[in-house]
Amino acid sequence: MKKILLFLLMIMLLITGCHKKQEEVKEPPKKKEEKPIEKVDIYKDLNNTPIGIYKLENNTLTKVTNLNKVLNVEEDIGIFQIFLSNEESIPLNTSFGESFYNEWTKYSNIKLAFNIKYTLANNETTSYNIFSPNETFEHWEYLMNYLYDDYANRGKSFYSHIETSDYNENTLFTAIKMQSGYKCKDIKSIELTAFTYDSEDDFIDNEYRGNSSSKLVITAN
């Protein structure tokens, strides 16, 4: 009888020990899911340089924001002057080149460039920036563009557009001429934007996002 009781006691101890061992086995702690760190864009443009697109006649600048134009192959769409102002009309006391330079020197560490966006009859849109003469013939089959430096050519009755070989850090973009390419009849509208910038932060996905810009919309008839 004692042997039976002893045997039963040993079995109970073994069962109790097994339960304890099972209780002591802990599950490993679950790893916390790491959330991706969101980058906060803290961009703020402090460049508030005024800028406008103008037509020059009789030494007076008249701002243009809309234009209707019949596009013919290799014909000029227009020559447009750039001036650091938002005024609708500006009578000049000196030559345009001198007047541009006088305004330009009021600001520091800025550069001037252009964006051209054209939409075809099928609603396909193309957009590109012009930072130097190298980009003026980016899509020459539709549009040909020419940059001018009126300050460098002041006093001359006739002068040509800026060539790549002439372009340097002192070159000023005072005017742009737009000319139709051989596929111009496919164009429905054109947007010419002049803008100033001071760093790469002024662009996102190659699109200008700063404060200093002026736009001309040209509707093809």
pLDDT at 29: 62
pLDDT at 31: 63
pLDDT at 20: 41
**Residue 104 falls in which region: left (phi positive, over 0), alpha (psi -120 to 50) or beta:** alpha
Residue 178 pairs with which residues in a beta bridge? 78, 145
pLDDT at 140: 96
pLDDT at 21: 46
Name the stretches of the chain with pLDDT < 70. 1-41
Tell me: the pLDDT tens digits for 8-45? 555 565 555 544 444 455 566 666 666 666 666 689 99
User: Would you say the C-alpha torsion 157, 158, 161, 164 has a positive or negative sign?
Assistant: negative
pTM: 0.81
Closest by CA position to 219, among listed 195, 190, 179: 190
Report the C-alpha gap between 107 and 85 in whole angstroms: 12
Would you call 76 helix, strand, or coil by DSSP? Answer: strand
